[in-house]
Amino acid sequence: MNIVVLSGSPRKKDSLNVCKEIEARLGTENINYDYIFLKDYKIEDCRGCGLCFKKSERLCPCKDDLSLIREKLIAADGIVFATPVYAYQVPAPLKRIIDRMSFLFHRQELVGVPAIIVVTSDGGGHKQVSKYMKMTVTGWGCNLIDTINIISPMYFEDKKENSAWGYDEYYHNKMTTRIKKITDRFKEVIESEVRKIPSFYEIFMFNCLRSKTFTSQADYDFWNDKGWLESYYFYDTKLNPLKKIFGTILRALIELAGRRLKNKICQS
Ligand SMILES: Cc1cc2nc3c(=O)[nH]c(=O)nc-3n(C[C@H](O)[C@H](O)[C@H](O)COP(=O)(O)O)c2cc1C
């Protein structure tokens, strides 16, 4: 089993410590851990040419380590996305690769890969960052198991001296239990290889993502090859009738909105 930990922090501390707890829970038997510390990789800023969207990511003018990271993510059996909160967002190294891999929102290469998100903060902005990371990870097609939000000063005992909030044993124990529970579920899903039944949110995302095929031939061809243009989700799965109706209505509404927008553009 190949577990990739994608670490967005410029330092090896709080979020890494949480990942190490996940590693300790998963154990080492038949598991290989690949820690990607983004700070150690050369990643250029996106130049905004849009070639990846319009034609192919192979035409990206940046020559750096991005494809190495992308290959590692694709080869993963499970991914832990770990990030601190910086100014109510993810830090620059992580934002840079999310920007550069924006084509994954159009052409999903990580469909069904089980994922956990770890967010550490001093108590502000973790909701926004979790939401952003959830949207990113599900937008790339991953099977998001859950998000672990840690308020570092309350969780890590060594921060006792410096923090206004202070270490809280009850909080620490509660979060430790949560980390264990989510890690066990992560392992179970990876081992069972059973594909998850998508939630309403994931069906919503799938239908929104499909709308990109209206404007890009590259996206259309990719989705067509995968057989996703007509399907209810990225893969065959048992959906209850309510979810099927939800997906069908959503699809019809998005197509209608797309046609209206096209007409408006043509008329103006
Ligand atoms: C430049 C910078 C910006 C930060 N911005 C926030 C913030 O907006 N909200 C917050 O709660 N914590 C913020 N923090 C605190 C970190 O999120 C927190 O210490 C986190 O646990 C660090 O995790 P790490 O050790 O994995 O990098 C910031 C820290 C730095 C260095």
Q: pLDDT tens digits, residue range 57-86? A: 999 999 999 999 999 999 999 999 999 999
The boundaries of every CATH 3.40.50.360 domain in the chain are: 2-192
Split at pLDDT 50, 70, 90, the class of 212 is: confident
pLDDT tens digits along 3-44: 999 999 999 999 999 999 999 999 999 999 999 999 999 999
Q: Compute the radius of gyration of the chain from its Cα atoms.
A: 20
Q: CA–CA separation, 126 vs 151, rounded Å?
A: 8
Q: Is the dihedral of CA 100, 106, 111, 116 positive or negative?
A: positive
Which of 86, 95, 128, 159 to mutate for ligand 1's pocket (most ligand atoms within 8 Å of CB)?
A: 86
Q: Given this model, what pLDDT does residue 261 score?
A: 79
Q: Tell me what pLDDT residue 267 has.
A: 82
Quick one: which atom of ligand 1 is closest to the CA of 87? 8
* Best probe residue, ligand 1, of 85, 88, 127, 167 (max atoms within 8 Å of C-beta): 85
Whether the predicted pLDDT of 163 surpasses 60: no
Q: How close is the Cα of 44 to the center of ligand 1, in Å?
A: 23
Closest-lying ligand 1 atom to the alpha carbon of residue 125: 9
The mean pLDDT of the chain is: 94
Residues 6+ apart with CB under 8 A from 36: 4, 5, 6, 7, 69, 72
Domain 2-192 sits in CATH 3.40.50.720? no
Q: Say yes or no: CB of residue 124 within 6 Å of ligand 1.
A: yes
Q: Find out whether the beta carbon of 130 lies less than 6 Å from any atom of ligand 1.
A: no
Ligand 1 touching residue 120 (CB < 6 A): yes
Residue 162 predicted with pLDDT over 70: no
State the pLDDT at residue 159: 64
For the chain, give the percent of residues with pLDDT over 70.
98
Pocket lining: 127 vs ligand 1, CB cutoff 6 Å? no
* pLDDT range class, residue 213, cuts 50, 70, 90: confident
